[in-house]
Chains A and B, each alone.
Chain A
Amino acid sequence: MSTSAPNGRIGETLLEVKGLKKYFPIQRGLLRRTVGYVKAVDDVSLYVREGETLGLVGESGCGKTTASRCIIRLYEPTAGQVLFKTRALSPDGSPQVVNLLELNREQMNRVREEIAMIFQDPINSLNPRMTVSDIIAEPMVIHGKYQKGVSEERIIELLRRVGLRPDHLRRYPHEFSGGQRQRIGIARALALNPRLVLCDEPVSALDVSIQAQTLNLLQDLQQEFKLSYIFVAHDLSVVQHISDRVAVMYVGKVVEMAGSEELYANPLHPYTEALLSAVPKPDPLYKSDRIIMQGDVADPSNPPKGCYFHPRCQYAIDLCRQKTPEFRELKPDHWVACHRAEELKLRGI
């Protein structure tokens, strides 16, 4: 599927998600009968290459976070495949592609060395009862890699690398600012030398000035440790800044995925176009021609027939109301799920 990108730092496919679904049952009544499902993630397909950042954008509740949590099996997906090139499972450390959803618990825990997660809320994602040193050591302790002395030095090195001081080791999370806490979270994510880092809105809870610092730190670390990121965000300008490629989600589905510049310049899906038109521009003379979408976001427990976006789409035709569009590669490395993608001329920025 994927071809090697021209950029030298980007390698082969590391993670490929196919048809990922996560339905949360809605239970009612005394007997907890299942009366329906919230289709939080409904047929998501995407891939990430080594050393690359894939931005995952969409509005609140579209399933971005759920999708990223399904990848690392914090939630058990309902269906689909998560193919990951791991080195943790073979005795000699040679890479092998496995479906994470088929691994047993013990195998999955071994793969977890290679996939780390950075969380959105820097206050909630660090245990308030543990010191910084305990927090960063925890992944090592869990994987039986903590050695007195050696690991302590590694923790200090990680702290320095994310811009904190060694004398912060014995402090508790509440003594730090939001940005510093997020750095502690980043240091923890790096503790086991992962290859894929799932960043779940890592900067959305931070001040704008701190956002930039944190994003730059993430980029530096990517260069240095050859990391791949899945970067979940709702802020398009943040995603543009950090991503090589971007996947756009709407009501549990990926509707478009392309290289970052390509997607921003030539969107192929009307939803992407509408999102891009909403990006504020720092120009006082600019006359907004924002596309105001009609109606509400579709209810994921009762989505519309056909294309989920059709009730709000200004280009919708009868076909859109009848048939779910297929997610297809329209141009090289530019994927879209829209019946009219070929004929529409959409505006980018």
Chain B
Amino acid sequence: MAVATAPLAVPAKRKPISQSYWSLVWYRFKKNKLGVFGGVVLIVLYVSFTLIPEFLAPYALENRSSFAEAPPTAIRFVDAQGQLQAPFVYGLERRIDPVKRLRTWVDDTERKYPVRLFVQGDEYLFLGLIPMNVHLFGIDADPREARIFLLGADALGRDYLTRILYGGRLSLLIGLIGQFLTLVLGVTLGVISGYYGGAVDMFVQRFTEFLAAFPNIPLFMALSAAIPAFWSPIAVYFMLTVILAFLNWGGLARQVRGLVLSLREREYALAAKSFGASDWRIMFRHLMPGTMSHVIVIATLSIPGMILAETALSWLGLGLRPPLTSWGTLLQDAATVRAIRFTPWLLWVVPPILVTIFAYNMLGDGLRDALDPYSGR
């Protein structure tokens, strides 16, 4: 019998209507408002904290001043005479309380400094390339004379908002880079373990169990003690991400292995094998893409864990150390009773951590719903 081959009249230049798996996922993801919101928040966070913090922050990271532990500066619109004015801040005057032996800062209503957008200040390299000295906002004043501290200052008189912005770069990137390394390790070993089975599988699985059973904090202490003290802070930072990835890949490897165990019996894997495909090709061209939707969800949902791990470890003094600035090291500064009693604004580092984690969870939930193979087409 002849098979129907008569082609339909196809307009010559038609946009391909075909939709790949990922375009379908994107279509479904777009409908999830919370997930999209999380994604947008994360994009904003990553852009502002990792790409352009130099521009957003009014001062350079290590720009110290004599205004130690100054409280957050209030932006005012009404002056002492009750006149409405363009936004401005008062200068600060130091007072020493001889009885309590306490240093406090009070507004000097004689000195007013207008708040401006795009003011010139400390030099920096925009995106690490372009020399610039324009900052998003600031005050027209000699920095020795007056400063604007929207979130207060730390013990060395550095602007705390600036420090949170710069600190986000390391903390947010450690999540991404660490998770990326975790993915590479976990997916590769999971696919190999699931595909070959037998002794390879046995070894990989027992090793992940060993890692899972080992108490984390001592292991981490041992590993971070192994980082030579003379290494540059950046090398230390990189080692920390490697260590975090090394401790985390086990769970992912197990899940990938489980998926591969079922996928390798799919007929398309057998078909590739029947045509003589190499193990490598079957594993990474056929089996691994099938696990990707699951892996992406797991990865998204576990990046917050990475960020928190960095924060917790730095807080314990095991992770990043000054002069590196991350949310963890900032939290370390805020972790004394004295800090909470006299400089509570140092806790402003907590909201960005919370927002990041919520945003990742929203995004991860949205992705899971969009990628879930059991929810039907």
Contacts and interface: CB of A to CB of B under 8 A. Distances in A.
Interface of A: 69, 72, 74, 108-110, 112-113, 115-117, 119-121, 124-129, 131, 138-139, 142-143, 160, 162-163, 165, 167, 170-172, 174-175, 185, 188, 192, 212-213, 216-217, 220
Interface stretch (B40-48, B244-252, B262-270): B262-270
Contact of A162 (B3, B10, B268, B377): B3
B273 A74 contact: yes
A165 B3 contact: no
Nearest to B292: A129
Given A129-B21, A160-B5, A163-B4, A120 B267 contact: yes
Given A142-B277, A143-B276, A171-B18, A213 B267 contact: no
B132 to A, nearest CB: 44
Contacts of A143: 275-276
B157 to A, nearest CB: 56
B271 A109 contact: no
A125 B266 CA distance: 7
A129 B289 contact: yes
Interface residues of B, number: 29
Contact of A117 (B19, B271, B281, B290): B271
Contacts of A115: 274
B129 interface: no
A124 B268 contact: yes
Contacts of B277: 138, 142
A172 B17 CA distance: 11
Given A69-B270, A143-B276, A171-B18, 8 more contacts: A74-B270, A112-B275, A125-B268, A125-B270, A165-B7, A174-B377, A185-B271, A216-B1
A188 B271 contact: yes
Interface in B35-89: none
A165 B179 CA distance: 43
B274 A112 contact: yes
A216 B276 CA distance: 28
Nearest to B274: A117
Given A112-B275, A116-B274, A142-B281, A172 B268 contact: no
Contacts of B275: 112, 116, 138-139, 142-143, 192
A125 B271 contact: yes
19 contacts: A72-B274, A113-B276, A115-B274, A117-B274, A119-B267, A124-B267, A127-B272, A128-B21, A131-B20, A142-B281, A143-B275, A160-B5, A163-B4, A165-B8, A165-B10, A171-B18, A172-B19, A174-B21, A216-B3
B183 to A, nearest CB: 18
A15 to B, nearest CB: 15
Contacts of A171: 18
B3 A213 contact: yes
B376 interface: no
Contact of B10 (A113, A121, A167, A192): A167
B10 A112 contact: no
Interface in B264-300: 266-268, 270-278, 281, 286, 289-290
B16 interface: yes
A142 B271 CA distance: 12
B20 A172 contact: yes
B377 A74 contact: no
A116 B3 CA distance: 22
A341 B289 CA distance: 54
A85 B21 CA distance: 42
A74 B274 contact: yes
Contacts of A213: 1, 3
Interface string B233-268: 000000000000000000000000000000000111
Interface string B17-39: 01111000000000000000000
Nearest to A217: B3
A138 B272 contact: yes
B3 A163 contact: yes
Contacts of A216: 1, 3
A120 B19 CA distance: 25
B267 A125 contact: yes
A342 B55 CA distance: 97
The 4 closest A-B pairs by CB, nearest first: A163-B3, A109-B276, A125-B267, A112-B276
Given A163-B5, A171-B18, A126 B268 contact: yes
A119 B270 contact: yes
Contacts of B18: 131, 170-172, 175
A119 B276 contact: no
A74 B271 CA distance: 9
A285 B276 CA distance: 53
A127 B276 contact: no
A186 to B, nearest CB: 11
Contacts of A185: 271
A145 B8 CA distance: 32
Contacts of B290: 128-129
Contact of A119 (B3, B8, B271, B286): B271
A110 B276 CA distance: 8
Nearest to B21: A129
Contacts of B276: 108-110, 112-113, 139, 142-143
Contacts of A170: 16, 18
Q: Of A117, A125, A129, A131, which is in contact with the most chain B CB atoms at under 10 Å from its CB?
A: A129
A217 B3 CA distance: 7
Nearest to A72: B274
Nearest to B5: A163
A5 B277 CA distance: 36
B75 to A, nearest CB: 54
Contacts of B1: 212-213, 216, 220
Contacts of B21: 128-129, 172, 174
Contacts of B272: 127, 138, 142
A225 B36 CA distance: 53
B266 to A, nearest CB: 5
Contacts of B377: 174
Nearest to A168: B18
A110 B97 CA distance: 91
B122 to A, nearest CB: 50
A125 to B, nearest CB: 4
Contacts of B3: 162-163, 213, 216-217, 220
A102 B281 CA distance: 24
Nearest to B7: A165
B5 A127 contact: no
A143 to B, nearest CB: 7
